[in-house]
């Protein structure tokens, strides 16, 4: 009896937590479906009498929302893939190879996490602006825009993650050295050992890191706004939502704004829901590879 009460209390708290988490999304959806008249009504109308599904179509017709979402997908996928690759290789090397300067490099990786990205915005901007032989620049980086106005400007500054390297290193340390030595004795090369043995064992950490990186860079604003001011065709979904809020900043048009926000949230929600089982197992599975 006591065990059943504990189970009921546990699931009740979980259900309450799930309900609290769903309330903002339900409110956003209902807000996107209200008509301007219902928004101006007093007392306020919470449930729309006739859902305005055309609001989702209107947003695509009035603004290049499809282009913004496509840009977000391209940039975020490229950054996520680059960070997973560089973090896995660098973390594995720091964990399993002996070389001069390894301890110093590890200290640098840990220390670099203390500096926020905001400190690097201006230096990175000028590096990309004066990139030699790109965007009309000459060999000295003069005469053009460099890499500004391209996807490279959105992706290159984020190809390496100090946190990702440290996370992969911490997971890779637990990989048994005996397993790697056995593969070497069987004639496997270092890259094959990394690909066939290390990567499957690092999959839990890669899953967690991939979700973190995707969500963060899908919502990144500061750098994207900095390098796309002169290139509207490269603006991503968060920047587009910021522009829409500036235009639809009145009560009658807030339904369109909420519709656009809901549409930009969907890719992240779909990704998380499709990976939630693997993500949960990754958090609790350690290096079991399960």
141 CB burial (10 A radius; 0-12, 13-18, 19+) = middle
Residues whose CB is less than 8 angstroms from the CB of residue 89 and which lie 6 or more positions away in sequence, other chains included: 194
C-alpha to C-alpha distance for 68 and 242, rounded to whole angstroms: 12
Backbone φ and ψ of 74, nearest 5°: -60, -50
C-alpha to C-alpha distance for 187 and 193, rounded to whole angstroms: 10
CA atoms 90, 95, 99, 105: torsion sign: positive
Backbone φ and ψ of 59, nearest 5°: -60, -40
**In b/e form, how buried is each residue of 16-38, taking b as 16+ CB within 10 angstroms?**
eeeeeeeeeeeeeebbbbbbeeb
Of the options 2.40.30.10, 2.60.120.430, 1.10.3720.10, 3.40.50.720, the CATH number for the domain spanning 54-285: 1.10.3720.10
Per-residue pLDDT of the chain (290 residues; tens, 9 = 90+): 667 778 888 888 888 888 888 888 888 898 888 888 888 787 878 888 888 899 899 888 888 889 999 999 999 999 999 999 999 999 999 999 999 999 999 999 999 988 888 888 999 999 999 999 888 888 888 888 889 889 999 999 999 999 999 999 999 998 999 999 999 998 889 999 999 999 999 988 898 899 899 999 999 998 998 898 888 889 999 988 887 776 666 666 788 888 888 999 888 888 887 777 766 666 555 444 33
Provide the whole-model pTM.
0.86
What pLDDT is stored for residue 289 in this prediction? 39
C-alpha to C-alpha distance for 255 and 232, rounded to whole angstroms: 24
Q: Where are the domains of the chain?
A: 54-285
Q: What is the DSSP string of 92-133?
A: HHHHH---TTHHHHHHHHHHHTTS-GGGGHHHHHHHHHT-TT
What pLDDT is stored for residue 163 in this prediction? 93
């Amino acid at each position: 009896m006591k065990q059943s009460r504990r189970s009921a209390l546990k699931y009740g708290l979980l259900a309450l937590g799930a309900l609290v988490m769903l309330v903002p999304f339900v409110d956003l959806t209902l807000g996107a479906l209200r008509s301007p008249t219902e928004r101006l009504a007093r007392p306020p109308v919470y449930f729309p009498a006739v859902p305005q599904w055309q609001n989702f179509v209107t947003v695509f017709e009035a603004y290049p929302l499809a282009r913004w979402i496509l840009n977000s997908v391209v940039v975020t996928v490229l950054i996520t893939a680059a960070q997973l690759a560089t973090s896995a290789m660098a973390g594995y090397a720091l964990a399993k190879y002996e070389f001069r300067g390894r301890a110093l490099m590890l200290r640098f990786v840990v220390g670099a996490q203390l500096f926020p990205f905001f400190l690097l915005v201006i230096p990175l901007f000028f590096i990309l602006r004066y990139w030699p032989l790109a965007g009309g620049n000459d060999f000295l980086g003069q005469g053009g825009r460099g890499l500004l106005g391209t996807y490279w400007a959105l992706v290159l500054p984020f190809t390496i993650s100090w946190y990702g390297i440290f996370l992969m290193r911490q997971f890779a340390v637990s990989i048994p050295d005996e397993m790697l030595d056995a593969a070497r004795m069987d004639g496997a090369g270092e890259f094959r050992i990394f690909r066939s043995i290390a990567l499957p064992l690092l999959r839990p950490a890669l899953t967690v890191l991939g979700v973190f990186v995707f969500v963060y860079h899908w919502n990144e604003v500061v750098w994207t706004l900095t390098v796309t001011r002169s290139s509207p065709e490269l603006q991503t979904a968060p920047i587009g939502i910021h522009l829409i809020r500036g235009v639809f900043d009145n009560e009658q048009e807030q339904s369109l704004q909420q519709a656009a926000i809901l549409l930009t949230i969907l890719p992240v929600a779909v990704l998380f829901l499709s990976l939630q089982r693997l993500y949960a197992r990754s958090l609790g599975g350690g290096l079991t590879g399960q």
